[in-house]
Structure 1
């Protein structure tokens, strides 16, 4: 029914609202792909945080990035500069004359931004939090638990031809060149020669102990070189993980931007990671991944398509607590099991 009504307004301009986080942006890619497949001439825009914009700014199917500087705009109530920036954003959203706005964030803030566009079609989930659904005129009932399938279902209910295989990322050419040169200089590595390990994660409760990471990486580096990725903020932790593990382990924490990190992952044979954006980035560039799952719920945010998971076997698994000391669920994931599953993944050769 919703799809039928939306078809009567063939969009010229569509805005996707999903400003963060990195993994969430990847899970929203089927909506962008479905838009362009259904309406090849539509002009697409995406409201994105500064941190997430490099993930998709170069994408051939995205025409415009609308910058969303969350930290600055969050000070609008006490800073004249921030208030002026918020006013300019709202003005620009209104002037952009969007035909459709699709709010995949589903929070009060994103709902208000959706309303500010005054678009003829403003779509979002009927179970959006913080009463964001009040600002939509097309309420879509969620039909699947997993976040990727939810986004696909929303797109399909709007009449878009979105598909599970649409969760893809394009690797920026400049980032690919940088990654190729970096890997060559650091360890004489070529595409497919190495395994990537990504220890960092946003929640303390999802962290795998340093001693476990050392055991996993030390064992896997016997088979092939291991590249460790992380941000500049993760350099100390990653440094402790790789210390003394030998020259077949390369620590690139802090050495890459977001787009360059994607390029390194795309060049790898596989990924082992905590529950982070890497579990979605890897399959989005055609690389298999093993994800270590503790406090989160696999049916909602677990690995998708070619991903594998080791899920902690504890009664409290899936509690969604961001902080937990000790994080028993992660402590009890046996490094030997991680190594075994990673080797199985690499032996399967599924890329």
Structure 2
């Protein structure tokens, strides 16, 4: 069995699709699973042991200069990799016209390879369903992880009722001996990760509230690591870290950030892909929503999770601290 999963973005969406790969591997031992994804998120399926070949694309960049020679060469190389051997199934978990076209390009001359996706009533962009050879109905009120798994089950006969396995159990924590910014003795001493920065001001939570979170973590004898992703985010992270006595890492790759969170006792973050990744890693995780409703794409994982707030309704400091107390209790449990 050789399957191509098409789930290109965004980071949280890619995280939510990882259990589908686990379901395929469990149903078809030895299956060859490839994954088409935007390059910034390629490290995520690469972390999954059942995914053999990750094909990164840069469509967001390519569409700005479609006639540039370098762009045409890079796109051509990606398509050639996808067409090197025929797939038994191309599965579009994205549900967009764009992703359906990627499926068509991936199939290329292998006309007998079926392309599968959501039916017209289930999909985000109904036009895309007309580009599939096989469609399936999946209720739109299902949580994101469940929708991916149910679609996979409809086309490949996998078990969507088994516990969701994100396939990240082999991610190893960073070694403090190789990263001097980590809290001293963090290989044995516990720490928490905070993610207080975002690309837009509407998504931010007050710095005073982050200070309260830091104080609670200090009471729990957890060191504080404040993660960031851009220069503006770095400045905010440094201010908060200084206030709460935390440390700020250098810029981390997706894989390094995953390893950082793999060693954490708890994670508190805004509505970002890294917060979803922390939950998928099995860390007690609190997601803070200020500009979006968590709805069907809230933070989810095998350990304690909480998705607090909503669009225009930032959660109160008290609500986050209450959830943090529950997360810390889970982290402190003997079998955590």
User: Where does 1:60-139 land on structure 2 (aligned, <5 Å)?
Assistant: 60-116=49-105, 117=107, 118=111, 120-126=113-119, 127-129=123-125, 131-139=127-135
Q: Please name the residue that 2:313 is paired with.
A: 329
CA RMSD of aligned residues (A): 2.5
Q: Please name the residue that 1:150 is paired with.
A: 147
Is the 8 Å Cα contact of residues 225 and 248 (structure 2) preserved in structure 1?
Answer: yes
Q: Please name the residue that 1:289 is paired with.
A: 285
Is the 8 Å Cα contact of residues 182 and 247 (structure 2) preserved in structure 1?
Answer: no
The verdict on how the C-alpha distance between 1:220 and 1:179 changes in structure 2, with shifts beyond 3 A counting, is same
Q: Please name the residue that 2:158 is paired with.
A: 160
Q: Please name the residue that 1:242 is paired with.
A: 241
The verdict on how the C-alpha distance between 1:81 and 1:237 changes in structure 2, with shifts beyond 3 A counting, is same
CA distance in 1, matches of 2:171, 2:213: 31
CA distance in 2, matches of 1:79, 1:335: 50
Is the 8 Å Cα contact of residues 56 and 169 (structure 1) preserved in structure 2?
Answer: no
Is the 8 Å Cα contact of residues 168 and 283 (structure 1) preserved in structure 2?
Answer: no
Is the 8 Å Cα contact of residues 26 and 168 (structure 1) preserved in structure 2?
Answer: no
Structure 2 unmatched runs, 5+ = none
Deviation of 1:90 after TM superposition, in Å, equals: 3.1
The verdict on how the C-alpha distance between 1:227 and 1:61 changes in structure 2, with shifts beyond 3 A counting, is same
User: Where does 1:210-249 land on structure 2 (aligned, <5 Å)?
Assistant: 210-224=207-221, 225-233=223-231, 234-246=233-245, 249=246
Corresponding residue SS for 2:51: coil
The verdict on how the C-alpha distance between 1:178 and 1:32 changes in structure 2, with shifts beyond 3 A counting, is same
CA distance in 2, matches of 1:178, 1:20: 29
Deviation of 1:292 after TM superposition, in Å, equals: 1.3
- Residue 265 of structure 1 pairs with residue 274 of structure 2: no
Corresponding residue SS for 1:77: coil
CA distance in 1, matches of 2:230, 2:267: 20
Is the 8 Å Cα contact of residues 6 and 94 (structure 2) preserved in structure 1?
Answer: yes
Q: Please name the residue that 1:325 is paired with.
A: none
Q: TM-score, normalised by structure 1?
A: 0.82
Deviation of 1:99 after TM superposition, in Å, equals: 1.5
Query: Residue by residue, what CA displacement relative to the aligned partner does 1:290-331 show, whole Å, maximum 9, x if unpaired?
Result: 11123333331112243433533xxxx45xxxxxxxxx422x
Q: Please name the residue that 2:327 is paired with.
A: 345
Structure 1 unmatched runs, 5+ = 1-10, 319-327
The 10-residue stretch of structure 1 (72-81 or 232-241) with the greater mean CA deviation from structure 2: 72-81
Deviation of 1:15 after TM superposition, in Å, equals: 0.6
User: Where does 1:25-40 land on structure 2 (aligned, <5 Å)?
Assistant: 25-40=14-29
CA distance in 2, matches of 1:52, 1:168: 16
Query: Residue by residue, what CA displacement relative to the aligned partner does 1:225-264 show, whole Å, maximum 9, x if unpaired?
Result: 2111122432111112222433xx1222x34221111111
The verdict on how the C-alpha distance between 1:86 and 1:185 changes in structure 2, with shifts beyond 3 A counting, is closer
Query: Residue by residue, what CA displacement relative to the aligned partner does 1:207-236 show, whole Å, maximum 9, x if unpaired?
Result: 212232223223432322211112243211
Is the 8 Å Cα contact of residues 103 and 124 (structure 1) preserved in structure 2?
Answer: yes
Corresponding residue SS for 1:250: coil
The verdict on how the C-alpha distance between 1:211 and 1:178 changes in structure 2, with shifts beyond 3 A counting, is same
Query: Residue by residue, what CA displacement relative to the aligned partner does 1:97-152 show, whole Å, maximum 9, x if unpaired?
Result: 11211111122221111112145221112214262212111112123421111011
Deviation of 1:206 after TM superposition, in Å, equals: 2.2
